[in-house]
Each structure stands twice: as C-alpha cells, then as structure tokens.
Structure 1
Amino acid sequence: MIGLKKGRYRAHHAQNAQDIAAAQALRARCFGVEQDKDAFDHQCTHILISRDSDGALVCCFRMMPLSGAEISRSYSAQYYALDALAAYRGKMVEMGRFCIDPDLNDPDILRAAWGAMTAYVDDNGVELLFGCSSFAGTETHDYLDAFAMLKARHLAPKRWLPRVKAPHVFRFAARLRRKPDAKKAHLGMPPLLRTYLMMGGWVSDHAVVDARMNTLHVFTGVEIRAIPAARKRVLRALLG
C-alpha cells in the first residue's frame, strides 16, 4: 500500500468510488472535456496525490498491471498494434491519465507522484512501464523539432516497436529529414515525456492524432533495468 509524503502532499491509493470520481473530475478539468471516465478505470489501481491541509486532490494517475499476453487489452492497444510486446516476458504496467491541477505549480506534487510510481514499481516487481505521452493539440508544426529529436535519439528497439493501428497518424520517423534544434525540441516536449526519456525511455515511430482528446500522442516505454543508475538513485530518494 502506497503512503508517502512530500512537503504538503501525500500519495495514496483510491479507496472507494468517491475517490475515483474525484480523479475523473480532475482529469476532465485538465483535459478540457465534459467528463473523463472509461471502461479501463475499474481495471486499474488509481493513485492520488492530495494536499494535507484540506484533502484537495492535486494530481492523479492510474496503473494497470499486465503481462505480455494481456497487452492487447490495454488502453494503448486501442491506438497501436502491440503484437511485438506480446512476447515480453517480464511484468509490465500501463501508466495513464496522469494529470496535475493546472492552477498549481509546486514541484513537491511531481516528487510525490514519482515517489508513488517508484514504490508501485518496486512493490510489484514491474519490469516495463508504458503508456501514451501526449502533446497538446493535434497540429504537428510546433513540435517538429521535438519529433525530430525523438526520431534521432529515442525510437523503440525494433523488437518492441509498435506498428500503426490508428486511422490518423503522423509518421515522424519516416517523414522528417531535419536536424533537431535541441532547445526547441526540449521546449516542445511534454514534461512527462521528458521525464520518461531521462529514465531511458523510448517511443513509437509515429504519433497518433487523437481528435477526441485534442492531443498527439506517442507510445512510450521504460524498461526498468535500463534506467540509468543516477536516475534510479534520484527516484529512490523520493521514497524517504
């Protein structure tokens, strides 16, 4: 059971339907939709970050444990052909619906979230963490340097590479021929994806255009054993 504190915040599991409803409400607010609930919610462990002073929910995400043989029932499998990962032998978990209250800007919230994620991975012996990393909007123009950087440095190993399944995609690995501007690439990269990449993460060779959520997203995987030692020390320090 996760239960850790960072500054004014504590991380904990959702305990009941009311907790999950609060997470869904925060997600809807962050994603700019009327409501955000789906059939995957009841299959997941929901992790919440709350403010100690008043119990307000400030961050949430969900974890869905899977084996390679089960990956076709993941949220990501709606958008990506994940047949290659069906051969993955270790324990895996899909991390999704990560969001932080847009009115707050306190680094302790993110520290609590990553501490909770680390505790979950350690407690469950997870070997592969994966999910969809989202860019705001569906226009690619502002993100070309970011996508060029993903192509140059962060594509998935061929043995795990997701194939195209969604009807509308941006095949950046095939289409882009530009040398990325590192500063523009960094600015264009979603913060969550930047963190995954610092952990040695890799991405699909195409982005899915998701009109319903008004995002572009790339499949993202992090093999736990491949996380650099220095980054592992940083993550484990969050558990203290």
Structure 2
Amino acid sequence: MRDVMMEKSPLNHPLGHPVEAALRDGRLLGRIGTLQVRLARDSGEVEAAQAIRYRVFHEELGARAHAAGLQDRRDADRFDDVCDHLLVLDSTIDGPDHARIVGTYRLLRQESARAADGFYSSDEFDLETLVARHPHLSFLELGRSCVLPQYRSKRTIELLWQGIWAYVNHHGIGVMTGCASFPGTVPAAHAEALSFLAHNCRADGDWHVAAVARRFQPMDLMPVEAINARAALAAMPPLIKGYLRLGAKVGDGCVVDLDFGTTDVLIVLPVETISSRYINYYGADAERFAA
C-alpha cells in the first residue's frame, strides 16, 4: 500500500516545479486564493513562526511562558533547530514574507530527532518503544500546529495538509505521530470524548503505545454503553477529528500538560492506512491547490 501511494504522488508539483526542489528551496507547495503554503526558508521565518505560536498558545490560550519566551514573545524550545517549519502565508499582507505568516506546523523527522535526543512527545508517551518496533519505517512527528483566529478555516487546514503530504512523500515517511490536545487539565471534563477514543480508536498490536507511567491518566472514564458517539465526536477538537478521518488511532492513556494547560492524547497514523480518497485529494489530484 505504501508503495502504491508513492507511485500516486506527483513527480511535478501543481504549481509547476518538482516537489523536491520546492522543499529544498522553500518554494510554494500549494496555494488557495491569497493563501500559500511552504517550508520556512531561514531563521527569521522560524522566529516569526515562533511569534505566531506565542500569540496563539500563550496570549490566547494561556500557556505558561518561560522567562526567555516572555522577553522575546516567542514560543521556542530546543527542538526548533532540528525541525522543519511548515508555514501558511497571506500574500495580501503588506511587508516582507515573515510578516505574512498566519499559521504553522512543526515537522520533526526521525533522523532529526536523534540530534535532539528523541521526539518532543517522548516526555509524555513511550514513543521510543513504538519506533523500535518498526525499524523499517520512518517516523514523522507533527506538532505545534496553530493558526491565527481569523484564518481558522477549512482552506487553511487543507493547505497545511497539502504541504504535509508533499513532505511525507518526498521523505518516504511511513508513520505520522504527535500529541493532540483537549483544552484544560481535567480529563473528566472530556469524559465522553476521551472514552470514545479509548473504546473505539485505540492503537493495538504492533501499534500499541502508552503514556509514560509517571504521567499516565486513564481515558476510559465511561462504559462503552453510556457513550453517545455523535456527542463524543462533536465534543472533540477539530484537529483530532481530522486525524481520525484520515484513519489515525490513539495511544493508551492521556497526559495532563500543565505548562500548556491541555490534556494530550498521542496520534498514531501509519501512512499505509490512509484512505485512497485522501491520497488523491492531497496528492495526485492536488491541482485544486494551485487555483
């Protein structure tokens, strides 16, 4: 299945240049109307993406900022230097490109994670055991996803996924993973949604992965017969619902992140399980993103 998906990915990008060159040179990976998606080209753009993250995570959502972050008004950590940073830009905003960034996603490949002594999510979930169980697959951690409020629309999410899909195909990624969050630090406040995930969407077999013991919080807070599936799905953050539509599973247990004020679950998405309709939508038939 993975080989089939690789064959379906376009050799040339819908915007008229090879994907490899686009990723290497920071050229556009997609465009819808005035919005564009590409990788950050330099440290200035990475810092601008960190400033967007600060505005969303710390100013809007109330995450704790360390002293350096408060001073610089940037959300930054030791992983940023080894990650690629996917950007959405609004071409109608006046000024240089770094001033046009309205959304971002952080991409950490397995080989880059080694330089950072592991994945970011490893502090919450036993990701190393999962990776070791699949030595022939390349893992990609997705994280720090955020979009400015006025740009939180379907087309912005579609552009981000167009960029991710080009990146996944170019680097031969076999598994996407990363933390996704519910707001607040009380898992019981999301009992129905978390229980639905625990009973219906838990990764098992070779894909089983659990929260680290010292941070493990149970997710199965309600019996399966008490769960209203429609209500549970309606209560989930859009990002988690989007992952589920692609075929993702979740790890065993959730983790409370006091710094960010969230309750985190681990997403596990083997590329070979993604539905062909999404492969075509973001891959071979992606000419729509050039419109």
Secondary structure at the aligned position of 1:162 is classed as coil
User: Does 1:45 find its partner at 2:84?
Assistant: yes
Counterpart contact for 1:59–1:100, Cα < 8 Å: yes
User: Does 1:65 find its partner at 2:109?
Assistant: yes
Deviating beyond 6 angstroms after TM superposition, the runs of 4 or more aligned structure 1 residues are: none
Partner of 2:231: 184
Partner of 1:91: 138
1:75 pairs with one of 92, 96, 120: 120
Counterpart contact for 2:187–2:219, Cα < 8 Å: no
Q: Which moved more, 1:26-35 or 1:7-16?
A: 26-35
Amino acid at match of 1:64: L
Secondary structure at the aligned position of 1:53 is classed as coil
Between structures 1 and 2, the one with greater strand share: 1
Amino acid at match of 1:218: V
Q: Distance in 1 between matches of 2:35 and 2:207?
A: 37
Q: How do 1:88-237 residues align onto structure 2 when only pairs under 5 Å count?
A: 88=134, 89-165=136-212, 167-173=214-220, 175-179=221-225, 180-236=227-283, 237=285
Deviation at 1:101, TM superposition (A): 0.6
Amino acid at match of 1:144: A
Secondary structure at the aligned position of 1:225 is classed as helix
1:96-115, Cα deviation, whole Å (9 max, x unpaired): 10111123333221111111
Task: Provide structure 2 residue ranges, at least 5 long, that are not aligned to the other structure.
Answer: 1-21, 70-74
TM-score by length of 1: 0.91
Q: Which moved more, 1:93-102 or 1:175-184?
A: 175-184
Between structures 1 and 2, the one with greater helix share: 2
TM-score by length of 2: 0.76
1:205-230, Cα deviation, whole Å (9 max, x unpaired): 21100000000111111111111122
Partner of 2:41: 15
% identical aligned pairs: 26
When Rg is computed on C-alpha atoms for both structures, the one with the higher figure is 2
Q: Distance in 1 between matches of 2:224 and 2:200?
A: 13
**Aligned pair count?**
238
Q: Distance in 1 between matches of 2:237 and 2:204?
A: 22
Counterpart contact for 2:211–2:251, Cα < 8 Å: no
Deviation at 1:153, TM superposition (A): 1.6
Q: Distance in 2 between matches of 1:115 and 1:155?
A: 26
